[in-house]
Structure 1
Amino acid sequence: MAHTKSPHRAVVGARLLLSLLPLLAWMGAAWAERPPALLHLEIRDAIGPATSSFFLRALKRAQERNVQLVVLEMDTPGGLDSAMREMIQAILASPVPVVIYVSPSGARAASAGTYLLYASHVAAMAPATNLGAATPIQIGGPQPSKPEDDHPRDKDKNEQPAGEPDSALERKAVNDAVSYIRGLAELRDRNADWGEAAVRQAVSLTARVALEQKVIDVVATDLQDLLHQLDGRKVKTRFGVVQLATQGLVTEEFTADWRTKVLSILTNPNVAYLLMLAGIYGLLLEGYNPGSFAPGVVGAVCLLLALYAFQILSVNYAGLALIALGIALIVAEAFAPSFGALGVGGVVAFTIGSVMLFEGQVPGFRIARGLIGGMAVTAAFVMLLSAGMFMRSRRARVVTGAEQLLQEHAVALEDFDSVGRVDIRGEIWRAVTRAPVKKGVRLKVLRVDGLTLEVAPAEE
């Protein structure tokens, strides 16, 4: 039976294939007639984890769609070294040529942006833009320099050239950056000497001078002018030389999705700072009011998000420790009032830690000074409010406990010489006295001994 059905199945399959041939031919023709495209995206902020993730997904999209060119319009003050290197590695490995265009006029490609320009297959700038200032900055601020040698005979020999950092750690970072940018310059046949000067001396160039010194390839007024100048240019990719044909390219925009936007928000130092404070205060409120749940849940979520952001960002952990110490001292002021000593110390530690938290002079990754000032004033207000409430509570009349009875008057319920019964606040108490007491007389409470009151006539 199997042998008799095989020819029939083959015939059916052949007919089905023949019936699909026109559709496949039409799809192939439509694909062949599809106009070539370029992928266009923009970066208008500091280079960070969200930026690199967005850029890598754009390059992946360009390869999947088989576009002819990727054009990245950029305006950045710099950013994190790790994110920048991730983007550069993707550019060097990309089979699709990447054009980085510093635009519009007035934009800049400072610090990390300069390295990206050097790595791009085509570096372009709009008029009245600039690049440079590519000296790496250590997170946490510069290290103190070593004291000069007191021996005159060794002074000239050990003297560093202009622009050379003093500490060994800074020299390592600068020399590494110099080698990196010179390697990119040699790969793209650009001015390696100026790239080294941008790292060592933090120099900058305008677009026109950068073109004259072979730092960039093109100066274009807008995207259309850029594409016109790139038509016919040959660029070298990892997979060989590609001749650009930019006439008639269809522009496909690549914009950030919700994940990139959320990551950008979380990795904003101001947001991460507020999330950390919200998490700490939420957990404290849950500790003050166990079982309320809402402050604890919100605080835990905020603190986890803050820790995630700190894992991505370059955090000065000394600043983080000072913030935690400051909050602990402010809370301690409420529980163990020291007439402001703990609270003032807490506000000072909190402020200094906030300033240090992301203090590394990395452009775009610092906490706004106004936000720090506002949070410090709020913490000081909370501390003063707690101290004021404590002082008022000390002056207030006692309303609970045995001490309250010392401020009340009792009324004798019977005549007695030493032991009897009295009424105080609607309660009947056993009372002792050293002087005879008549029924109905107002008595003053002298001492409370368990369930017995020592009383005396109020007149005494």
Structure 2
Amino acid sequence: MKRNSLLVFLVVLFAALKCYAAGPIYKIQIKDYIIHPITGEYLSKAIARAQEEKAQALLIVLDTPGGLLQTTHNIVKEIMNADIPIIVYVAPAGARAASAGAFITLAAHIAAMAPSTHMGAAHPVQLGEEGDKETLEKIKEKLFKKEKKEEKEKPATTPMSEKIMQDTLAWVENIAKARNRNIGWAKKAVEKSVSSTAQEAKNQGVIDFIATDEQDLLRQLDGKEVKLPSRSVKLNTKDVNIVPIELNWRQAILNVLINPNIAYILMTLGFYGLLFEITHPGSWGPGVAGLISILLAFYSFHVVPPNYAGIILTVVGFLLLAAEVFVASHGLAAFGGLVCLAFGALFLVDTPAAFLKVSLKVVIPTILASTAIIGALTTLILKTHRHKISTGPEGLIGEIGEVDIDLNPTGKVYIAGELWNAQSSEPIPKGEKVQILKVENLKLYVKKV
């Protein structure tokens, strides 16, 4: 009896120790975020925390359109050198691991995808080097089209982009080799922007398996052995505890700000805040809010490289809109400003990557709102200019008064409760009604009604 009790105790103790030793799985989510320094910091701190708190593994639920190459390098380096298993799961259905996301997925110890997801299109995008020159050339070509005979075509690549391409190919080959993934597919994803569905990626040896949801993922992970730099780990994911790690408040705010669309909106709001302060001195509130908005926009453009041609066009556009309020240009300054804003928004971010550009869904409403605001201000100004002056001597012009002392040709006229010196071109007796023609040197010039 004692022997059986001891055996039961040892079995229970072993099961308990096994569950304790397994540890929880920490989880972070990249919810359609662009890969930039803030997402890089989020992932890096999650790996550090998971290692420090003896987590069994870190699960990255990934959905991203791509991002900055340098940040991707840093993230991949963290994953490759992590001392716990890193599991990348491209989910939910409809998610993607495009561009930078493809590198992160390839670098994971275990890569999985949900059905109806895709990954790839990892062609490196060059930021902030020769984009300005290329953009200006495109503008000149479109605005000043000239027929050029026997002109040699320009090469499709530049020396710098070729260097980046070769470096990225070598890098992705090393990643695929280290994780025993399809090297040929990885290089095609970089060189030819190949993209694959979940099933295609599984068939080609790019990912480890397809999981319908997180529970299915944990079921397939159970018992899988993962080789780390210093040791091997066997995953125990049956009834494992999942501990989510969210963005902290600072990361959440900065993650929103590092978005070209948000930056453009902040820059626009900042302009109108400062314009209101200039036209209404002493109000302070709009001016301070405008200044803060512009500084936040500058922070965003510090991370996402701007195109100087786009910045100049945008600034000129805002200045022309402001000029329309102060100068009577009959709408020409406003029209020029709106055209500059439109082109400036299109060229504002120095990258060919669509997800890093300002969206037309933001540009068009912003320009329409600017049109409405400037139109309303211009209308009010025109109405003010056309409105008859009702105060001071000029306000008497056109009014009707009564002769108090005969005009021959000078005399006195009673009007608006006051007696004025007056003069007419013909004699007008006392009691007659007269109309004021003009006021000069506190003298009324009148005519008989």
Instruction: Classify the TM-score, shorter chain.
Output: 0.7 to 0.9
- Which residue of the partner structure matches residue 384 of structure 1? 375
Residues 217 and 363 (structure 1), Cα distance of their counterparts in 2 relative to 1, 3 Å cut:
farther
CA separation of 1:40/1:385 partners in 2, compared to 1, >3 Å: closer, same or farther? closer
Note closer, same or farther for the CA distance 1:149–1:133 as it changes in structure 2 (3 Å cut): farther
Any residues of structure 2 matched to 1:107-126 within 5 Å, and which? 107-126=95-114
CA distance in 2, matches of 1:53, 1:179: 25
String of CA shifts for 1:78-125, please: whole Å, max 9, x gaps: 222233223222213322221212233443211111111222222223
Letter matched to residue 439 of structure 1: K
Instruction: Answer whether contact 2:438 2:445 (CA < 8 A) is retained.
Output: yes
Partner amino acid for 2:242?
T
Q: Which residue does 2:317 correspond to in 1?
A: 326
1:253 to 232, 241, 244: 244
Alignment match, 1:272: 263
Q: Distance in 1 between matches of 2:114 and 2:380?
A: 61
Stretch deviating more after TM superposition (285-294 or 125-134)? 125-134
Where does the alignment leave 5 or more consecutive residues of structure 1 unmatched?
1-28
TM-score by length of 2: 0.81
Task: Check conservation: 1:327, 1:346, Cα contact below 8 A.
Answer: yes
**2: distance between equivalents of 1:30 and 1:423?**
108
- Preserved CA contact (<8 Å) 1:337 1:390: no
Q: Partner letter of residue 91 of structure 1?
A: I
Q: For the residues of structure 2 that align with 1:247 and 1:326, how far apart are their CA atoms? A: 58
- CA distance in 1: counterparts of 2:330 and 2:149, whole angstroms: 49
What is the alpha-carbon distance in structure 2 between the residues aligned to residue 273 and residue 267 of structure 1? 11
CA distance in 2, matches of 1:182, 1:358: 30
Q: Taking structure 1 as reference, are residues 363 and 343 closer, same or farther at Cα in structure 2, changes over 3 Å only?
A: closer
Residue of structure 1 equivalent to 2:291: 300
| Cα separation, 2, equivalents of 1:233 and 1:311 | 43
**Alignment coverage as a number of residue pairs:** 420
* CA-CA distance at 1:228 after TM superposition: 4.6
Tell me if structure 1 keeps the 8 A contact 2:407–2:422. no
Consecutive unaligned residues in structure 2, runs of 5 or more: 1-15, 142-146
Aligned partner of residue 319 in structure 1, secondary structure: helix
Matched, 1:166 2:161: no
> In structure 1, how many angstroms separate the alpha carbons of the residues matched to 2:377 and 2:154?
57
Alpha-carbon distance in structure 2 between the residues aligned to 1:341 and 1:371 = 24
Give CA deviations for 1:426-449 in whole Å, capped at 9, x if unaligned: 222223445444322333444433
Letter in 2 for 1:120: A
Residue matched to 1:375:
366
When structure 1 is superposed on structure 2, of 60-69 and 445-454 the one drifting more is 445-454
Report if aligned partners of 2:22, 2:236 keep a CA contact under 8 Å in 1. no
**Match in the other structure for 1:335:** 326
> Which residue of structure 1 lines up, in the alignment, with residue 277 of structure 2?
286
Equivalent position of 2:232 in the other structure = 242
In the TM superposition, 1:122-137 aligns within 5 A as: 122-137=110-125
Q: Report the alpha carbon displacement of residue 286 of structure 1 after superposing the two structures with TM.
A: 1.2
Conservation of the 8 A alpha-carbon contact between 2:398 and 2:437: no
User: Which residue does the alignment assign to 2:48?
Assistant: 60
CA distance in 1, matches of 2:264, 2:64: 22
CA distance in 1, matches of 2:93, 2:65: 15
> Residues 342-385 of structure 1: CA distance to partner in whole angstroms, max 9, x if unpaired?
11111111122223334735354343322321121122223333
1:43 aligned residue? 30
Question: Which residue pairs with 1:195 in the alignment?
Answer: 186
- Check conservation: 1:79, 1:363, Cα contact below 8 A: no
Aligned equivalents of 1:220 and 1:148: distance in 2? 56
Residues in 2 aligned to 1:148 and 1:424: alpha-carbon distance in whole angstroms:
77
Moved more, 330-339 or 311-320: 311-320
Letter in 1 for 2:27: H
Question: What whole-Å deviation, never above 9, does each CA across 1:374-398 have from its counterpart, x for those lacking one?
Answer: 1211222233334444444454433
- Give the residue type in structure 2 aligned to 1:441: E
Deviations 1:198-228 (A, max 9, x none): 1111112233433343323334444444445
Query: For the Cα contact (< 8 Å) 1:286–1:293, is it kept in 2?
Result: yes
2:301 corresponding residue in structure 1: 310
Q: Partners in 2 of 1:388 and 1:286 — Cα distance?
A: 20
> Matched residues in 2 for 1:394 and 1:319: separation?
36
Over 3 Å counting, the alpha-carbon distance change for 1:422 and 1:210 in structure 2 is: same
Equivalent in the alignment of 2:92: 104
**Where do residues 402-413 of structure 1 align in structure 2 (5 Å cutoff)?**
402-413=393-404
* Deviations 1:294-327, CA, capped at 9 Å, x for gaps: 2122222222222222222333343233222222
Report if the CA contact (8 A) 2:270-2:289 is conserved: yes
Give the 3 Å change call, closer, same or farther, for CA 284–395 of structure 1 in structure 2. Answer: closer
Residue number in structure 2 paired with 1:73 = 61
Identity, % of aligned positions: 35
Cα distance 1:227–1:404, how it changes in 2: closer, same or farther (>3 A)?
Answer: closer
Does the aligned pair in 2 maintain the 1:230–1:244 contact within 8 Å?
no
Tell me if structure 2 keeps the 8 A contact 1:97–1:121: yes
Does the Cα contact within 8 Å between 1:415 and 1:437 map onto a contact in 2? yes
Q: C-alpha distance in 2, partners of 1:44/1:436?
A: 89
Deviations 1:139-193 (CA, angstroms, capped at 9, x unpaired): 5596669999969xxx9xx998xxxx43334323323322321232233333333
Decide whether the 8 Å contact of 1:417 with 1:436 is kept in 2.
yes
Q: Distance in 1 between matches of 2:276 and 2:148?
A: 53
Query: RMSD of the alignment, in Å?
Result: 3.4
Using the alignment, how far apart are the partners of 2:234 and 2:149 within structure 1? 58
Deviates more, 1:317-326 or 1:283-292: 317-326
After superposition, the Cα gap between the structure-2 partners of 1:96 and 1:447, relative to the gap in structure 1 and judged at 3 Å, is: same
Task: Please give the TM-score of this superposition, normalised by the length of structure 1.
Answer: 0.80
Change in CA separation of 1:435 and 1:37 when aligned onto 2, cut-off 3 Å: closer
90-99 vs 314-323, which moves further: 314-323
Question: What displacement does 1:234 show?
Answer: 4.4
Deviates more, 1:285-294 or 1:387-396: 387-396
